[in-house]
Structure 1
Amino acid sequence: MTEQQNIEYKQSWHNDYLKWICGFANAFGGIIYIGKDDNGKVVHLSDYKRLMETIPQKVRNDMGIVCDVNLLDEEGSKCIEIRVNSYSVPVSLRGRYYYRSGSVKTELTGVELNEFLLKKAGKTWDDVVEEGATVDDIDEKSLQAFIDASREKGRMPDTTGLSTYQILDKLRLTEAGKLKRAAIILFGTDPNRFYPNIQVKIGRFGKDSTDLKFQEVIEGNLVQMLDAVQQQLSYKFLTRPVEFTGMQRIEREQYPVAALREMLLNAMVHRTYMGASVQMRVFDNRLSIWNEGMLPIGLSLVDLKVEHNSRPRNPKIADACFLAGYIDTWGRGTLKIINSCKEAGLPEPEIKEMNGGIKVTVFNNLKTEISEKPHLDFGTISDRLERSTEENLEFLRNIYNDFTENINKDFGITSDKLRISFGITSDKKITNPFYAFQLLVLYPDITAEQIGSILGVSSRSAETYIKQSREENLIERIGGKKEGYWKIINPKN
């Protein structure tokens, strides 16, 4: 039998394996075999007598728990079986907490540790009472808007004639006469008075993430922000492509409204509320939204693209959003984003873990052209790069003719010169050094590491390509390594 989620094989004992025991105890329990190889074959344990005494002592003294430690005899060879039960209380190893997820042992720190401890206490962050809050901190207009939105779905219990507190109580957002955190997040007059960063930041960017054109910060409760963010996107941040049918002017949305709404709801329902604010970045041909908070243990990025169970980080907030008809509770949010983009004929959205959170990016079909100075438009095509190496090379190959034409026009560097410098024999046989040169022109402050990532080569190879362009007297470095950039040498000057 090979190793599984709740089975671990070790050929010999090391005190570091106490972390694995702690991880099993905090998760769903498991078994550790001492004296077996990775395939489960006994390799014999010479010091089994000593370990039968020391392992139980270390487990009890260092973690305060008891495990079944059994001596096994398989075909004359000895091994030890450590059976670890799952504990309903948090178990620490000398003040540190570990958790077993899949086949990986993880040390819990920061937000993850806080959420783990709350979970062991039968709570989530949004289910905790906010001692300083009263009904006066609830915005009644937001609560009424929430009730109005719920009527269409018919999920909300009857609230006719009830006071604000009684409505919150029906929503299970109170406890012992006090408001829970979820009530403040959903309907609070000023949630930022209680918690930092209850806001959505929206930025409009140009060529790349360093080129910020303008921004807005939306504050308020969830009900308020849901509408305010969509209004800001519609009226200020997104331009609508225009078509004419006869004399009729038709405006098309860049992105499906359903996808944007689901992205925003996912971010606000699943975010870590004691972390950074939700952040949206709008470019010419893509829009991304990021929220702090990693995926729940046991849920992967791959799972988000197929049918999966709903596991909200903030279940009280999620339940209320379900009653209002904002979301369902079947884990279909990411599928709705993907399918709505597909139905609109847009590329598949990108979902990835980044900077301690989840980033979802949708792309539109706006065509990108190489301008008279190609590098000025790199920000509008950069989303086409840094995906798979094959896609990157295909894109760079496709813009080869326009690129060489503009290079000749702007800098006087002929296609013949480029062919001689980089050994290009045909459009289909373009060398990596030339691809690197393209990137240096399109993105003057690009680094060797970034070039290597885009082309699928090492940074050392990328440095070699840059060196070749310098030796061919095509580029020169202006400024230092961190603040400088690559300048194309114009032989006309």
Structure 2
Amino acid sequence: MEEVIDFIKAYILKEFIITGNPKREERWQYPIEAVRELVINAIVHRDYRGFHSQFKIFPKKIELINSGGLPFDLTVEDILDGSKRSEPRNRLIAEIFRDCGFIERYGSGIQRANLQLLEYNLPPLDIEVKENTFKLTLFSEVQVTPQVTALEVKIINIIKKDNKISIREIAELLEISSDTVKEYIKRLKDKDILIRKGKTSAGYWELL
């Protein structure tokens, strides 16, 4: 589980706040405890007969897509207001997590994540449910100073080696989606770090 958290940390922003104390304060783009709650939720509630859990990280949001919808007698409103407790789809895994102290009580993870987002001055989770899919989205509204994330550094280094490389090829090298690469390249352009010259296959990238 911590490996997933570390992976997410590598692709989100962190700012350092000067407080006047000798030790500066660190603030992540999202509350890490909220992210941890959602990772636990994905593991405990995933339908393992379906597809793998997916974490998609964009500049201003994180999407978590899990296999398995809601039980027929449970609604999104039930989850948000706590009027009904959701039972873990994988009880054995849930019991192990509870024994290890990762779960306080069943069915409360999303509520705790929303509380942490509220304390962080971020909007609540967006929940989208389909028959066999459960999707959670965290949004970031924190304005941070322009800085380069770990993923942006990787993209820059790839382009330094081959300035004619395509978005698809970058995505394959980083093992992420082309849409994610497009999002981060747009961000590099907005920071005046990268431009694209030429609109055809003969075009190339130029670092400023």
Measured against the shorter chain, the TM-score band is: 0.5 to 0.7
State whether residues 117 and 123 of structure 2, in contact with CA within 8 Å, keep that contact through their aligned partners in structure 1.
yes
Give the whole-Å Cα distance in 1 for the aligned partners of 2:26 and 2:105: 33
Looking at structure 1, the residues matched to 24 and 114 of structure 2 have their Cα atoms a distance apart, in angstroms, of 29
Quick one: distance in 2 between partners of 1:338 and 1:319? 23
Q: How does 1:50-449 map to 2 (within 5 A)?
A: 226-234=1-9, 236-246=10-20, 249-307=24-82, 308-354=84-130, 356-367=132-143
Q: Distance in 2 between matches of 1:251 and 1:266?
A: 26
The 1:355–1:286 alpha-carbon spacing in structure 2 relative to 1, beyond 3 Å, is farther
* Structure 2 match to 1:8: none
State the 1:348 CA deviation: 1.3
Q: Distance in 1 between matches of 2:90 and 2:33?
A: 22
Q: Which runs of 5+ in 2 are unaligned?
A: 145-181, 185-208
Q: Distance in 2 between matches of 1:350 and 1:302?
A: 12
User: Cα distance, 1:282 vs. partner?
Assistant: 0.9
Deviations 1:155-202 (A, max 9, x none): xxxxxxxxxxxxxxxxxxxxxxxxxxxxxxxxxxxxxxxxxxxxxxxx
Kindly state the Cα deviation for residue 379 of structure 1 after the two structures are TM-superposed: 5.6
CA distance in 2, matches of 1:270, 1:322: 14
Aligned amino acid, residue 322 of structure 1: R
In structure 2, the partner of 1:436 is none
1:326 Cα deviation from its structure 2 partner: 1.1
**Amino acid of the residue matched to residue 32 of structure 2?**
V
Q: CA deviation at 1:299?
A: 0.4
* Distance in 1, Cα, partners of 2:44 & 2:59: 27
Change (3 A) 1:296 1:355: closer
| Superimposed CA distance per residue, residues 104-162 of structure 1 (whole angstroms, 9 cap, x where no aligned partner) | xxxxxxxxxxxxxxxxxxxxxxxxxxxxxxxxxxxxxxxxxxxxxxxxxxxxxxxxxxx
**Structure 1, residues 370-410: CA drift from partner, whole Å, max 9, x if none?**
xxxxxxxx969xxxxxxxxxxxxxxxxxxxxxxxxxxxxxx
2:202: which partner in 1? none
1:276-324 per-residue CA deviation (whole Å, 9 max, x = no partner) reads 1110011111111111001112001111101121311111111121111
Question: CA, structure 1 residues 249+292, in 2 after alignment: closer, same or farther (shift >3 Å)?
Answer: same
Deviation at 1:232, TM superposition (A): 1.6
How many equivalent pairs are there?
145
Aligned partner of 1:240: which letter? K
- Higher gyration radius (CA): 1
**In structure 2, what is the Cα distance between the partners aligned to 1:367 and 1:309?**
35
2:149 alignment partner in structure 1? none
Q: Distance in 2 between matches of 1:357 and 1:328?
A: 25
Judge conservation of contact 1:341–1:348 (CA < 8 Å) in 2.
Answer: yes
Structure scoring higher RCO (CA < 8 A, sep ≥ 6) equals 2
Q: Is the 8 A contact 2:56 2:63 kept in 1?
A: yes
- 2:94 aligns to what SS in structure 1? helix
Shift in alpha-carbon separation, 1:238–1:298, aligned structure 2, 3 A: same
- The one-letter code of the counterpart of 2:136 is V
- List gaps (5 residues or longer) in structure 1: 1-225, 369-377, 381-493
Q: Supply the distance in 1 between the matched residues of 2:116 and 2:13 (Cα, whole angstroms).
A: 19
Hey, what's the Cα distance between the residues in 2 that align with 1:231 and 1:367? 22
What amino acid is the match of 2:13?
T
Overall identity of the aligned pairs, in %:
30
Tell me, in whole angstroms, the C-alpha distance in 1 between the residues paired with 2:131 and 2:8: 24
Q: Distance in 1 between matches of 2:183 and 2:123?
A: 18
Q: Deviations over 1:253-284 (max 9, x none)?
A: 11111110110010110001121111001111
| Distance (whole Å) between structure 2 residues aligned to residue 346 and residue 255 of structure 1 | 8
TM-score calculated relative to the size of structure 1: 0.28
CA RMSD in angstroms, aligned pairs only? 2.3
Q: Does the Cα contact within 8 Å between 2:74 and 2:86 map onto a contact in 1? A: no
**8 Å CA contact 1:310, 1:331 repeated in 2:** yes
